[in-house]
A and B are shown apart, each in its own frame.
Chain A
């Protein structure tokens, strides 16, 4: 076969030409639909478009397969690859509408995630109260411990040297702020940031998260000790409980989320380390996202509720009632559905 190579007759010389002529209409139609879906949403498509979409997608996908095997037009294959990828993510990776996602989160995702973390949550609660009791006992035996636990700026005069009168004042007279919302929002954003931290820090094999939780408990115990020493124990309990039950619970859950991630990476079990991290990450992120809501509630209770309600008993009652609400929402669900399931 030594004859010069030439194209036969009138047929197009290269496959890409034939191929483009036959299918470019479909490709461009799909491209137009996908662009519209990306710019706006699935709803911007008419019924006809919606019906045409799967067909166009499959046509283009098979065009890609054929083009890879028969054509050497690199730009054409590139175009088809990118178009198919875009279409794939619009068709298969489509997002559930926000309101449906939210409804699912509250009805199922959040309580289930928190329930799945019950062991870690219990661990965090025990750590918090263990640390609080330790700090309490230490400071009651030697008040100078207080200064090594609480940084100077944070105590704001509430240290062992303060008089009972001054301490009492901090419990009932921390108003003086014209708009309570500022305080509430500040607390909310600050605490939420801490919750996100303790989630993220879990990546370092959970160690920093545990330390954070322990320290939180130490501070709690230290403050309590200062007030209890002056006979203000029940008063400070009410002051702490109105928002503290929700806040400490939320911090414990986000700590539990961090611990779950750290443990999954340290001890992946039968799964590969990657798979274990992903599985733990999804549950932990859902639970952690929920704690932001809890902290918003806590911020409101602390910033507004505490400043307007001065009765210790009522403060403690509200705190207990809110905590009971959370417990029923998170853990009461299963027992009830299990009953119905019978």
Chain B
């Protein structure tokens, strides 16, 4: 396959074959979205802790103070250790942060996500995040945090923090031990049919004009049409007209629309006879 001319990004798509034999092509969550989800979770946990604490301070009286203190210890423990684990054990396999960003946790072997795996991947968070943080916090509070210690804590958390960036599958240390990975959980709606059955071609393109592009360009054009940004449409229409040597008829959108339909029909006809032209660089 001569796809080398296509933009070479390191792909996050992974082969994932269902028992029915279809490859679902899972897409791994990027490091950025993972970090975003984690931040959202941390902010939510902090907010809950603050509200929870204030509530107890407000409600507790001298007589019941110790009862509420005990409750607070339990609450803090459950929040700290249970937030990630309990949500990920649910049917969506995602914490609220992950859900907002559109991620979910999945077993790498495609089997069901067990409770043990979820506990393992989240217990590891203790050494990835909480240990260096609480260590640093304690020493800072005591005023004994010297440069060396700060440096050590930062290096420690740095190694674990950037662990996902240094492996191909974006695995956290916890994912590694638990046999899980985090995938994008897209929820796209069924898009409108771009061409439709009512469509009748208004323009006719020459063979040469339709030979200009392949599937990659077709799908880029599809994106341009679906997004519908007028300046993008103008630019693309002018480029195609220039390459095909066609006159400007003043209707950029209509032109692109017709060109898309004709090119799509032509390339699909090619598919039927086993000719898949991936990009304009193939013949």
Contact = CB atoms under 8 A, between A and B. Distances in A.
A36 to B, nearest CB: 11
Interface in B86-115: 89-93, 104, 106-108, 110-115
B204 A78 contact: no
Given A74-B219, A95-B112, A14 B265 contact: yes
Contact residues on B (Cβ < 8 Å of other chain), bracket: 35 or more
B126 A197 contact: yes
Given A72-B267, A74-B219, A189-B77, A17 B193 contact: yes
B190 A24 contact: yes
B201 A61 contact: no
B115 A105 contact: yes
B223 A74 contact: yes
A277 B135 CA distance: 27
Nearest to B173: A203
B67 to A, nearest CB: 6
A13 B104 CA distance: 38
A12 B127 CA distance: 59
Nearest to B204: A4
Nearest to B195: A14
Nearest to B271: A70
A286 B187 contact: no
Contacts of A103: none
B83 to A, nearest CB: 14
Contact of A16 (B81, B173, B195, B206): B195
Contacts of B120: 281-282, 284-285
B109 to A, nearest CB: 9
Contact of B201 (A6, A62, A193, A283): A6
A39 to B, nearest CB: 9
Interface string A100-133: 0100010001000000000000000000000000
A-side binding surface: helix, strand, loop or mixed?
Answer: helix
Contacts of A101: 115
A65 B24 CA distance: 10
Contact of B186 (A21, A70, A74, A82): A82
A185 B70 contact: yes
Nearest to A2: B207
Interface stretch (A84-92, A217-225, A314-322): A84-92
B70 A184 contact: yes
A188 B77 CA distance: 9
Given A6-B204, A281-B179, A282-B179, A89 B93 contact: yes
A73 interface: yes
B243 interface: no
A179 B66 contact: yes
A95 B24 contact: no
Interface of A: 1-7, 12-18, 20-21, 24, 27-28, 31, 37-38, 41, 58, 61-62, 64-65, 69-76, 78-79, 81-82, 84-86, 88-90, 92-96, 98, 101, 105, 109, 177-179, 181-182, 184-186, 188-189, 192-193, 196-197, 199-201, 203-204, 261, 274, 277-278, 280-286, 288-289
30 contacts: A31-B190, A72-B218, A72-B264, A72-B268, A74-B219, A76-B190, A79-B190, A85-B186, A88-B18, A88-B24, A90-B91, A92-B18, A95-B89, A181-B70, A182-B67, A182-B70, A189-B73, A193-B126, A200-B123, A200-B126, A203-B127, A204-B127, A261-B177, A274-B176, A281-B177, A282-B114, A282-B178, A285-B117, A285-B178, A286-B116
Given A14-B195, A75-B194, A85-B26, 4 more contacts: A15-B268, A98-B89, A109-B116, A196-B81
